[in-house]
Structure 1
């Protein structure tokens, strides 16, 4: 399967204009990849909003049970859940005002990619946001 991710130039534009990243599956455990990546993005100046129903706070930010519980605008939704959960996450994503759906390495669902891209969302799958940021800054 080959995903038609945006070009590096387009990804740089996304990262340059984003301020707030909601991270689905952000673990409060500092040894987890979701924490390491999100902490790096937070240090780079992005506001991180954790989406984890089992955590009260992560990285000093209030955690929300779902995307729809977040009371402010989000620029990127970054997903650290397994691929089989993407369909449900996409359903919730469509209900909020966010232009970018991003999934981490090895988190892929071609149907979700096409469904969201076909209606105008920017979709980036199977890419690490921390790595892309480091390459493009």
Structure 2
């Protein structure tokens, strides 16, 4: 049942979320933290890079943290270790994000529970690019 719930959440997020803040956006094109958001950008999502060491990425201004982003954010996409997730959940809640997505290999049940209790949809341990291909591109 839990897997079915996550699949439904994934489909809803892919359909409804347009603006994605990417925490841990990488300058290295060979890393998932670069090529996943680049793929999403190419498929019409608005990407906002979040990395204190970048000025811009994909031609867009980068921000040092979620709180600094002046525009509304639908989804926070995390490329961070599982143990580093909680502060970003707090920031996602503070900025009024609608959803939180932890990339493949990233899961933190306590942080997910906190996000859900604040009303955010949550996906853990899944690649947004793979899921986009599965539910949007190849349908």
Distance 1:128 1:80, change over 3 A: same
**Helix, strand or coil at the partner of 1:30:** coil
Say whether the 8 Å CA contact 1:5–1:124 is kept in structure 2.
no
Structure with more of its chain in helix, by fraction = 2
The two structures have a TM-score, normalised by structure 2, of 0.91
CA-based RMSD: 1.5
1:86 counterpart residue number: 85
The residue that corresponds to 2:111 in the other structure is 112
Query: Which stretches of structure 1, 4 residues or longer, exceed 2 Å deviation after superposition?
Result: 3-10
The 2-side partners of 1:38 and 1:133 are apart by: 12
In 2, the alpha carbon distance for the partners of 1:86 and 1:10 equals 19
Aligned length: 135
Report Cα offsets for 1:54-107 as digits up to 9, x if no partner.
000111111000001000011110000111111111111111111101100111
Does the C-alpha gap of structure 1 residues 5 and 27 become closer, same or farther in structure 2, counting only changes over 3 Å? farther
1:95 is paired with a residue whose SS is helix
Could you tell me which residue of structure 2 aligns to residue 58 of structure 1?
57
Pick closer, same or farther for the CA change 1:5–1:61 going to 2, 3 Å. farther
Uncovered stretches (5+) of structure 1, i.e. residues with no partner: none
Alpha-carbon shift at residue 20 of structure 1 (Å): 0.7
